[in-house]
Amino acid sequence: MEKIDLGPAWRHYCCRPQVRQRLLEYLGGRTLEDATCFYVTSGAPTMTEGFHPLPVTELWNLLTCHQEAARSLWDRQSLLVHLDVEHVHFERPWASYLDSDHCHDIQKPLVAAIHQILGTHGINPLHLLTGRGHHFVWRIRRGCEVFDRLARLGRPPPSLTQLYTEPQRPVDQPVDPELGKAFAGLGRVMEFLGHRLLRAAAADTPVPLQLTAVEAGPVAGEREIVSIDISEYGDPLHTRMIRLPFSAYLKAHRMRPAISPEDRSALPLMVTIPLGSIDETQGLRLMRDLQGAAELARSVQVAIPDASRGMFSLLADYETSALARFHHEYDNFEASSSSPPAALPPCAQRLLDYPNDLLLKPAGIQHLVRVLLALGWHPRQIAELIDSKYRQDHGWVQDLHFHETSCRAEFYTRLFAGLFATGRDDLVDFNCRSAQEKRYCETDPCGQSLDPFRDSLMARRKHGRLASWPVNGLFLQHQHL
């Protein structure tokens, strides 16, 4: 990944003993050699740099070479739980960094809801402030009762189970199969948590609040959302990483070529700051102040807290939920090959014709899921169709576009179908105008309105006809009741 020269002040900062002590705490050890994470890395893959996990002992070199730093979500002793909240601006991705007050103000209702809901279950996460949002991190002890129940709940696809048996970089070890199952089960509970957060905070959030980075139409001329980003649960455990507290946050700097010279000069150097002992206002100030951040590192701890007992309570709520019933129906569908989708509107057909990059975008997958649900397809069949597109040669870049195709296809299909089936999605943006605003419609007018598809889908939910006859046909009450 491109190295960004942060100057001598950064080299001095990341060599401070208290900063390194906090980093070791987050890695789960007293030294780099006994850390519980499996690897460190400079961040997510890019078009020019793939997935490059490094031995944990490389961390100090990584930091002093002016790189961002993250640790593996994959851990030797625990199942780590990570909830990522961020501001996403689709026209100007760097807007979050230039107007931090706006970026964080619009997230306050959601952040309050996260603390309230997690607190109800006795979960007190480590709360980190990042350049465009918040990270909440806690852990579950391997081998405890809630870990075992999550492992029984998880159903990773066979292709992912096979991948877990292979030695993984850089440690040349496979992923323990029970840990892989528990991570899959955790993903379902995090979907449930996302549903509760939408219900608690969406009405008070001044821009659309979405599960994952689903594109939305403009609000006051701006296409922006607050994202409850649980997308990591759609990837293999060993491929995901989480940012280190007190490390550099350089996403904005990596966008420099696309930013105007005036805005480029205003980009701040930021570090990720733990909250708890300080409030958000103080955190926003300290994340731009290396000396202040180093002083904070003297007085805080960032060891990832054990919330096994609290997760038992959250899991119990999930198990009695409408989402759990939907997941049970999803799992128990007898997969069978479906005839190709018929009579798709042009906006949906385009997604299948140009899956790279349209089926990489959550909003694209959501649109296709809605159209095919309206035609009577079962979510499992939709996931298989999307997976088939991922497996074809459409110019995919390995370990950038996805690490494992079935896992990605199942996660997003189940996510969007579950939102609709449980009543969390009432299709308010499933119409031609919204498709145009999201730029998924290239033909205006195309002669095929989305209104009948929306009517069919709402009627199917009302009359209990999801994933049923007529397949590849609209279910309209005046025709079928």
Per-residue pLDDT of the chain (481 residues; tens, 9 = 90+): 456 667 888 989 999 999 999 999 999 999 999 999 999 998 765 545 567 899 999 999 999 886 789 999 999 999 999 999 999 999 888 888 888 899 999 999 999 999 999 999 999 999 999 999 999 999 999 999 999 999 999 999 999 999 999 999 999 999 999 999 999 999 999 999 999 999 999 999 999 999 999 999 888 888 999 999 999 999 999 999 999 999 998 887 777 667 777 777 667 788 999 999 999 999 999 999 999 999 999 999 999 999 999 999 999 999 999 999 999 999 998 766 666 777 799 999 999 999 999 999 999 999 999 999 999 999 999 999 999 999 999 998 877 778 899 999 999 999 999 999 999 999 999 999 998 888 788 766 677 899 999 999 999 999 999 999 998 999 987 676 5
Verify that 146 and 108 share a domain, yes or no.
Answer: yes
Decide: 286 and 309 in contact? Cβ < 8 Å.
no
**Residue 2 within a domain:** no
Of 313, 344, 376, which residue is a domain's last? 313
Verify that 265 and 339 share a domain, yes or no.
Answer: no
The tally of domains found in the chain comes to 2
Verify that 473 and 348 share a domain, yes or no.
Answer: yes
**Residue 222 within a domain:** yes
**Residue 117 within a domain:** yes
Verify that 109 and 223 share a domain, yes or no.
Answer: yes
**Residue 326 within a domain:** no
Of 280, 313, 346, which residue is a domain's last? 313
Domain that holds residue 154: 7-313
Verify that 299 and 427 share a domain, yes or no.
Answer: no
**Residue 325 within a domain:** no
Verify that 357 and 224 share a domain, yes or no.
Answer: no
Verify that 276 and 363 share a domain, yes or no.
Answer: no
**Residue 323 within a domain:** no
**Residue 320 within a domain:** no
Positive or negative torsion for Cα 263, 269, 274, 279:
negative
Residue 225, token pair as written in the block: 């959302």
- 127 bridge partner residues: 136
Verify that 138 and 216 share a domain, yes or no.
Answer: yes
Verify that 280 and 399 share a domain, yes or no.
Answer: no
Decide: 234 and 408 in contact? Cβ < 8 Å.
yes
Tokens 């989305």 correspond to 450
Verify that 279 and 395 share a domain, yes or no.
Answer: no
Strands (E), 255-305: 270-271, 273-274
**Residue 92 within a domain:** yes
What is the reported pTM?
A: 0.95
Peptide bond into 55 cis (omega under 30): no
Verify that 388 and 257 share a domain, yes or no.
Answer: no
Verify that 127 and 213 share a domain, yes or no.
Answer: yes
